[in-house]
Amino acid sequence: MPLLTAVCRVDRLQPDSGSVGVTAIDKRPLDGPVPVKPLGVWGDVQASRKHHGGPDKALYVFSDEDAAHFSALLGYEVTPGLFGENLRTSGLDVTGAVIGERWGIGESLVVEVTMPRTPCATFARRLREPRWVKRFQDEGRPGAYLKVVKSGPAAAGDDLRVLSRPSHGVTVGDCFAGLSPEQAEALLASTDAPRLAEVMRGVAERAAAPASPAALADPSLQSVQKI
């Protein structure tokens, strides 16, 4: 049965050489139930709100299975919170989750899968691994951002249930790899999925639009389908 195996929030702000000067990526597991509200785990923060946080990125979830994969790749344990995640799961394919899919966690918490995580320079500095952004991308296991649909407590050991799954079938992994025009159109035309996050809508609209020969030849636009 799918389970929540850890709930994490920032332990302390750490100095960072990026433009903000500090980072909140240092997440650590919590004991006992913790309230989860529309902006995420109670007491959690984001140092840079431009690309992190907000209702559509209230939580970042990563699976134990994907953590084990990266542990083997890196040669050390990827402990809960190391990748900056708020939730750890077991028994659920996060990469295979459909955009707009909703999960029930514990007694009352309901969350919605909105988009894959995009690795950034802060993440690379956190890991101190050479070429980390590209290496992470190459593995195709990004984890996912979640929107909080209904607030509630969360704790390690809570059961996790898929409540609904849109029929368009476009997954977190599909979006991370780059949407095909057909996948983008399916996302935009879906009638049984929740409202797309603005970031995802923009990605889908660009992927669905036919590219001009000039755009196809421009290297700066080759990753336009990426988030």
Helix (H) or strand (E) holding 22, with range, is strand 22-23
**What is the longest distance spanned by two Cα atoms in the chain?**
56
75-129 pLDDT, tens digit per residue, is 999 999 999 999 999 999 999 999 999 999 999 999 999 999 999 899 999 999 9
Q: Which alpha helices (H) appear in 5-106, and where do they start and end?
A: 64-74
Domains for the chain: give ranges and CATH numbers: 3-177 (2.40.33.20)
Angle at 145 between CA 134 and CA 114, to 5 degrees: 110
Residue 99 CA, chain-centre distance (Å), reads 11
What average pLDDT does the structure give for the chain? 90
**Lowest-pLDDT choice from 1-5, 196-200, 221-225:** 221-225
* 41-52: average pLDDT: 75
Alpha-carbon dihedral angle through residues 180, 115, 53, 221, given to the nearest 10 degrees: -10
pLDDT over 70 (residue 164): yes
Angle, nearest 10°, between helix axes 181-189 and 198-208? 130
Torsion of CA 194, 150, 24, 100, to 10 degrees: -20
The mean pLDDT value for 156-167 works out to 98
pLDDT, tens digit, for every residue of 182-211? 999 999 999 999 999 999 999 999 999 865
In 3D, which of 19, 203, 210 has the Cα closest to residue 121? 19
